[in-house]
């Protein structure tokens, strides 16, 4: 999902703050989908966009960033993300025997 900047032109911001990040989401087979997201946008938007892009239920994937689980309320800022960072979309695992 592409987040369009809705900010008026000329508004003074710290550098990079209103910049959109390119975030890749990579599934366990290595397929990548790239998103643009604002630093302050909750990751829930990215998650639901990814799920709808793949046509699956939102709860299908566990999104991890550098091995840590991403909460829907996280933002690129809170996760300390940088441009072109990659998120892992992992499917559930189970095992018994």
Give me the residues that bind other proteins (CB under 8 A), please: 28-30, 59, 62, 64, 66-71, 74, 88, 90, 92-97
Maximum Cα–Cα distance across the chain: 61
CB of 4 to other proteins, least distance (A): 27
10 versus 67: smaller Cβ distance to other proteins: 67
Kindly report the backbone phi and psi dihedral angles of residue 89, in degrees, each rounded to the nearest multiple of 5, phi listed first: -100, 110
What phi, psi does 64 have (nearest 5°)?
-120, 145
Please state the closest distance from residue 86 (CB atom) to other proteins, in A. 8
Cβ(38)–Cβ(20) below 8 Å: yes
Specify whether the CB–CB gap between 81 and 72 falls below 8 A. Answer: no
Nearer to other proteins, 8 or 30 (CB): 30
Q: Compute the least distance from the CB of residue 57 to other proteins, in Å.
A: 11
Assigned token pair, 64:
């991890």
33 vs 71, beta carbon nearer other proteins: 71
- The smaller minimum CB distance to other proteins, of residues 18 and 71, is found at 71
Helix, strand or coil, per DSSP, at residue 64: strand
């Amino acid at each position: 999902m592409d987040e369009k900047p809705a900010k008026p032109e000329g508004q003074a911001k710290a550098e990079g703050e209103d910049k959109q990040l390119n975030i890749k989401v990579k599934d366990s087979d290595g397929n990548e989908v790239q998103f643009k997201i604002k630093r302050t946008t909750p990751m829930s938007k990215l998650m639901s966009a990814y799920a709808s892009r793949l046509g699956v239920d939102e709860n299908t994937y566990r999104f991890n960033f550098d091995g840590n689980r991403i909460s829907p309320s996280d933002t690129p800022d809170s996760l300390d993300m940088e441009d072109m960072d990659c998120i892992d979309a992992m499917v559930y695992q189970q095992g018994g025997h």
